[in-house]
Structures are given as C-alpha cells and as structure tokens.
A and B are shown apart, each in its own frame.
Chain A
C-alpha cells in the first residue's frame, strides 16, 4: 500500500514537471486581443502571416479575451509588472487608465529604425483616429486597429416602400429619406419623426413594432449613446461658444476647462440632450435593457425599423440566417460617437521590437483592406474606407468616413471606469423612473465632479 502511494506521488511530481506551462522555451510574443468584432480573428490571421516570415526567431500567439474581462486583466498585468501579454488591444477610452503603462512608440522606432516600414503612411489614418487612438499626453502609444462609430441601421424595405413614403409625406410634410453617400446627416427631428411614424403611424408588422431600437443600458451603451445626443449640442456653434473646444483627452462630456459640460448648473444643453434621448426612447423597446447585443436582437428579428449600434455589427445583423438579411442599410445619425481600438505595447515587455513589427503589419495599408474583406474588420485607414470596389461590395462601408467628419468622443481619463459606473447607476434612473431627468442629470454631474476632484484632476 505504501509503495503504491509512493508510486502515485512520483507520477504526480513527474507530470508536474512535464505539463506545467513552459515559459519562453521558444521566444513567444503574447498578444491579447478583444474577442469580438472579428478582432481576434484578424489578429490570428496576421499572426500566422507573421510567423511564416519570422517563425524561426519568434512565435506570435494570439489570445482572445472577452470585453468584460479585458480591462481588468490589463490593469492587473500592467500594475504588477507581470508582462502577461506584450501587445494588447486597448479600447481608446481606457487609455486614460492604462496610458502610463503603454510603451512610447517613438522611442521604440528610434531604437530600432530598421523595423520602421517606409510605406506605413500615417497620413492614411483620419486625423481624428490618429489623435484619439494613437496618442496620449503627447506620446505616441498605439496604432489604430479597429474603428467603431455608432451608426444608424435601417430597414430598406420599410423606408423605400412607396406606400409608406406617401403616408409619411402626408403626415409630416417632407420626404421619407435616409441620407446616402454625399448627403448631410439626419437631423434629430427627422430621426424622431421616422421613429414615431414607424411605431404609431403605419402598421408594417403583424406583431409588435417599434420605430427604433435605442440602447441605453447602464455602462458603455449609456455613456456612448448619450454622447451622441449631447455631442450634437456640444459641437454645435452654440456649444463651442458655451463650452469651448473639445479637449481630445477629455471628450465631449467636458468643457474646455475640464468641467462637466452637461451639468444643468452650467448650461441647459445637457438637459435638452437628455430629453431628446428620453423622447426618442419612447419608440424603442425598453432602452434601459438594450446593450449592444440586445439592441441588435429586436432589429434582426424584424421588430424595429431602425437601430443605433456599432458599424461592426453589420455582418451579424445581415447574416444569411437573420430575418432582415438583404433588407438593411446604414446611414448617418446627427452626431455619431467614436468607439474603437488600438494596439499597444506593454511597457514591461522585453520584446518591444517584435511587438512593434507585429503591430505594424497588423495595421498596414494592405492588411487593413485584407482584414476588412476577410473578417469585416472595421477599417481605420482612409484608403480602405474610400475604396470604390469595397464600397460596391459592402453597403455599410460608405458611412465610415463621413461619420468621422463630425464625431463625439469619450473621456480618456484615468477615472473613466468610475465615471461610466456612476452614470450607469444614477443617470439610468431617468429611464426607470427612479429620478426625474433633471435630478438624474444633476446628480450625475455632481458625482462626476466629485470623482474628478478626488482623483486630483
């Protein structure tokens, strides 16, 4: 019996040696990428290409990480100097929280001039994307990887239906029309009228019908979508006069001198925006439940005539199995909101040279086109967005460049998570009826001021 025990013990110890994870027997470049939107697929594809070229010296390994867990993982990794991953895909609004831990790319480039691709062509990125994704506090800390703008999706079969067009003209006095390439964006009034019309004005569905699926779930959806409404006022001529220019590191929610811009005490634009949001939400299945995924559900199953969501959802909404396959097009909302991701290097990494080479390959001109074609990876390069061939094949591409002309952004601040959290807790009470819109907005603004002050901004 005792012998058996010792045999088992030794087996255990041997397998312990054998199967414990091996650290860097062969040089490995660890890349952690968000697991959705085809991002990890793209990273994987590029990794394979990269390994073909440099596989004898280094192997790139891509690990997909879920959205909910990515920021947490990054923070722990960075702050403990663990170097779990050399390269991360970083949502730009998190840059405030992790910016100090991202490697300065200018330094890397000057240290290894031979790896810099002369054809990389930084100007090919829209200036707003370069400014938002790639820079922070004057340093270059990332390369733009995936663009994301809040876009309007709508049902072509409903909006191009001649009967409905006639009925709409009769009731509202102007044409039922969605902006196409070259047109101006919708106005808020149009959006509201369209939503009202398709909720109450005409019966187009056998079951329940809604004019729009509008996200307002606490967290990211609320923060981003409200910014569409507030940003519209913020970047209007009156808004600029009232609040000053938008500081890229602080986003649309703050004034030029870094106060909370939607604070009712400073101006009533905030309340106006909130009321617009709430009014539009009346034509949507309960917005406070709709996050990015659950917004596309009512739309894809044919319950809503329009929806606001990230452009990157196009493939899933129009997939062959979807009920609205072939019946969807995109258009411009009055003020789109910018999301999106860069790729950045962990400052603790000892393989910054390889990391930069990988990231360069991932975001190069040709690769941007390839990734868009293969994985519908929303492109960050102007050359891809304006490519006539691609625009012909992909009905959702045309809206990407125009969306960037006038777009709202989030705060790139270290306390962003807290701000998002408190807005989620307080402001969403305006939907659930816990607070009046005025109160909800005032309290949110006060909370934001308090958080920002406590952080020493």
Chain B
C-alpha cells in the first residue's frame, strides 16, 4: 500500500493536485464531451439539409426549408397534439394517484419495504415489455374487457378506437410511472418532522386543514421535482406507443418521437427528421425552463 509516502514538497503538492484534477474531473468530462461533439455537429448539419435516403447519398444544404415544411405538416401537428394529450393526462393522473398513494401509505411502516419494492417494478421494467404486456391485456378478448363484462359493459375496442387507444397508452404510462411520483412524494412526506403534525393537531387542525397548511406546502419541493422530471420524460415517450398501437389507429397515438423515428428511418427523410427533433429539443428546454420558473415562483410566494 503506497499511501504513506511523505514526499510532499510545495511544488510536488500543487503538481499532484493538478494531476489529480485532470484525472478525476478531466477524464469523465472529456469522455462525455467527446461523445457529444460529433452528434451535435452532424445534427445541426442535417437539420439544415435535405437528406432523403431513397434518392441521395449525401445531404444537400437547403437552409431552413425543413422548418418551413414542418409548419404545414399535418402529421407533425397530429403527433404534437397526441403527445400533448397523452402527456397532460398521464402526468396529471400519475400525480394524483401518486399523491393519494403517498398519503395513504405514509404512515404504514410494516410491509412498507415490500410495497415499495413491488411498486418500483413497473417503472424499471423494459418499456417494450410493458408495451407487449398491455397489448395482451387490452386485447379485445383480453382480461380488461372480460372484467368489464362483470359490470355489464360491452367490450371496449381498446386498440382500434382512437379515443380508447390513447386512453390505453395513458393507462399504460400511468401504470408504469405512478410509482415514480409515489416514491418521491413518499420520501418528501417522510421528511416532514412529526412534531409539526403533532403541534398542528394540538392547535386543533385536522384532516384536510392539516394537509392544506402543513403537509402540502412542505411537499411542494418534492412535488415539483417529481412533476418536472416526469413531464420531460413523458414527452419523449416511444416504446409503448410503438409496440402497443404502432401509432394507430389512424395516427391517433402517433407521438412525436414515433413520428420523428418514422420520418428518419421509415421514410428516409433524415434532414426533416432532424429538424423535427430539434424542435422537440427546443420544446423540452422551454418546458424545463417553465417548470423551473414555477418552482422559483412558488418559493417566492412563500410556500415554505
């Protein structure tokens, strides 16, 4: 073990610090940057080009034409609309359910470990397996329709009706990601000191008031982080619509990632796909900035 060398003169010391800095900080950062440089360059190059794989082998510069075409592309707006609907509903439902669950389970200590372990399975399951799974479940002759029969409801055409197809994607997403929100909120809940609750109860607060004035304000930081991360991830959704409905029926579940994938690989119009992807990136960044602003706003409004 070489840790006991004692040859640190002043010069040696700063030299050693620099070596250490380079290794510890430099190598990882460099590796990430290296991985990003070429993709960034390539991406910018082809989003300003026409690169139609069926017709040409090299990209041809066309400036902003791709972006102009995007605005009149009905499938693009269709996918934006679909993504918006799915994200908004899915994330809202996930948040509501996650909150319920966290409040319910917040005080259950025995079996808590087991329940938490079980609940993380949906999130970490390969999304493609989840898609496959729900394809089985939402089958017209599958378990959900059988279950609904008990209540006298006619079988729903989950994968063939546009409305229900979107619903099934939302349900699949809710199933997968509610645990995410649940676990974060649970951690946030458990970090609220018990004394605060006790003190409030002594003062006569209970039930809903307790929640509104004590629990919720202290939960806001966790809640915003959970929402932010979830919203941004949700916009990128791909695997589930891909396997569950392949973007159908009639494009009702063709989300942005899926349409970009198709434009890039299926139609072969790579430049156009890259242009759309850049718009998606801009959208995501705006979303992130928006959420950060909301966090700051809520902080400033004294929700602490």
A286 to B248, CA, bound (A): 14
Q: When A79-B53, A218-B250, A219-B248 are in contact, do A425 and B78 touch as well, CB less than 8 Å?
A: yes
Map CB proximity to A onto B256-277 as digits: 1 under 8 Å, 0 otherwise: 0000001001111000000000
Residues of A within 8 A of B75 (CB): 421-422, 425
Is the CB–CB distance between B54 and A288 below 8 Å?
no
Residues facing A in B19-77 (CB within 8 A) are: 53-55, 57, 75
Is the CB–CB distance between B267 and A418 below 8 Å?
yes
A326 to B30, CA, bound (A): 66
Is the CB–CB distance between B1 and A1 below 8 Å?
yes
Is the CB–CB distance between A75 and B268 below 8 Å?
yes
Residues of A within 8 A of B265 (CB): 72, 75-76
Check if B162 is an interface residue, CB within 8 A of chain A: yes
Partner of A79, one of B57, B162, B262: B57
Is the CB–CB distance between B249 and A417 below 8 Å?
no
Is the CB–CB distance between A72 and B266 below 8 Å?
yes
Residues of A within 8 A of B55 (CB): 100, 414, 455
Q: When A76-B265, A79-B53 are in contact, do A285 and B248 touch as well, CB less than 8 Å?
A: no
Residues of B within 8 A of A170 (CB): none
Min CB gap A107→B, angstroms: 19
* Residue of B whose beta carbon sits closest to that of A456: B55
Min CB gap B76→A, angstroms: 12
Map CB proximity to A onto B230-253 as digits: 1 under 8 Å, 0 otherwise: 000000000000000011111110
Residues of B within 8 A of A97 (CB): 53-54, 268
Is the CB–CB distance between A421 and B250 below 8 Å?
no
Interface of A (DSSP majority class) = helix
A60 to B266, CA, bound (A): 28
A98 to B159, CA, bound (A): 32
Check if B106 is an interface residue, CB within 8 A of chain A: no
A415 to B57, CA, bound (A): 16
Min CB gap B72→A, angstroms: 10
Check if B224 is an interface residue, CB within 8 A of chain A: no
Check if A340 is an interface residue, CB within 8 A of chain B: no
Check if B160 is an interface residue, CB within 8 A of chain A: yes
Is the CB–CB distance between A289 and B268 below 8 Å?
no
Residues facing B in A412-449 (CB within 8 A) are: 414-415, 417-418, 421-422, 424-429, 431-432, 434
Is the CB–CB distance between A2 and B160 below 8 Å?
no
Is the CB–CB distance between B267 and A289 below 8 Å?
no
Interface centre among A71, A288, A426, A427 (most CB of B within 10 A): A288
Check if B161 is an interface residue, CB within 8 A of chain A: yes
Residues of B within 8 A of A422 (CB): 75
A1 to B157, CA, bound (A): 61
Map CB proximity to B onto A17-60 as digits: 1 under 8 Å, 0 otherwise: 00000000000000000000000000000000000000000000
A426 to B74, CA, bound (A): 10
Residues of B within 8 A of A288 (CB): 160-161, 248-250
Check if A217 is an interface residue, CB within 8 A of chain B: yes
Check if B254 is an interface residue, CB within 8 A of chain A: yes
Map CB proximity to A onto B146-182 as digits: 1 under 8 Å, 0 otherwise: 0000000000010111100000000000000000000
Check if B140 is an interface residue, CB within 8 A of chain A: yes
Residues of A within 8 A of B140 (CB): 285-286, 289
A79 to B59, CA, bound (A): 11
Is the CB–CB distance between B268 and A424 below 8 Å?
no
Is the CB–CB distance between B160 and A286 below 8 Å?
yes
* Residue of A whose beta carbon sits closest to that of B242: A68
Min CB gap B143→A, angstroms: 15
Check if A253 is an interface residue, CB within 8 A of chain B: no
Is the CB–CB distance between B248 and A421 below 8 Å?
no
* Residue of A whose beta carbon sits closest to that of B266: A417
Q: When A71-B266, A425-B78 are in contact, do A78 and B248 touch as well, CB less than 8 Å?
A: no
Is the CB–CB distance between A425 and B266 below 8 Å?
no
Check if B2 is an interface residue, CB within 8 A of chain A: yes
Partner of A425, one of B57, B141, B254: B254
Q: When A75-B53, A286-B160 are in contact, do A428 and B250 touch as well, CB less than 8 Å?
A: yes
A interface size (C-beta, 8 A): 40
Residues of A within 8 A of B53 (CB): 75-76, 78-79, 97
Residues of A within 8 A of B141 (CB): 297, 301
A426 to B75, CA, bound (A): 10
Partner of A81, one of B57, B159, B268: B57
Is the CB–CB distance between A218 and B54 below 8 Å?
no
Min CB gap A81→B, angstroms: 7
Residues of B within 8 A of A1 (CB): 1
Min CB gap A219→B, angstroms: 7
Is the CB–CB distance between A286 and B251 below 8 Å?
no
A2 to B250, CA, bound (A): 60
A39 to B248, CA, bound (A): 27
Q: When A2-B2, A79-B268, A414-B54 are in contact, do A432 and B246 touch as well, CB less than 8 Å?
A: no
Is the CB–CB distance between B159 and A75 below 8 Å?
no
Is the CB–CB distance between B54 and A434 below 8 Å?
no
Is the CB–CB distance between A421 and B266 below 8 Å?
yes
Residues of B within 8 A of A415 (CB): 54, 267
A66 to B37, CA, bound (A): 33
Q: When A78-B53, A422-B75 are in contact, do A434 and B162 touch as well, CB less than 8 Å?
A: yes
Is the CB–CB distance between B246 and A68 below 8 Å?
yes
Residues of B within 8 A of A79 (CB): 53, 57, 268
Is the CB–CB distance between B162 and A432 below 8 Å?
yes
Q: When A424-B248, A428-B248 are in contact, do A417 and B267 touch as well, CB less than 8 Å?
A: yes
Map CB proximity to B onto A114-131 as digits: 1 under 8 Å, 0 otherwise: 000000000000000000
Can you list 26 A-B pairs with a CB-CB distance of less than 8 A? A72-B265, A75-B53, A79-B268, A81-B57, A217-B248, A218-B246, A218-B248, A285-B140, A286-B140, A288-B160, A288-B249, A290-B160, A414-B55, A415-B267, A417-B262, A417-B266, A421-B267, A424-B248, A425-B254, A428-B248, A428-B251, A431-B250, A432-B162, A432-B249, A432-B250, A434-B250
B residues at A contact (CB < 8 Å): 1-2, 53-55, 57, 75, 78, 140-141, 157, 159-162, 246-252, 254, 262, 265-268
Rank and list the top 5 A-B pairs by shortest CB-CB distance, nearest first: A289-B160, A428-B250, A425-B251, A72-B265, A79-B53
Given contacts A217-B248, A424-B251, 9 further A-B contacts (CB under 8 A): A75-B266, A98-B54, A288-B248, A289-B159, A289-B160, A289-B249, A290-B160, A417-B267, A425-B75
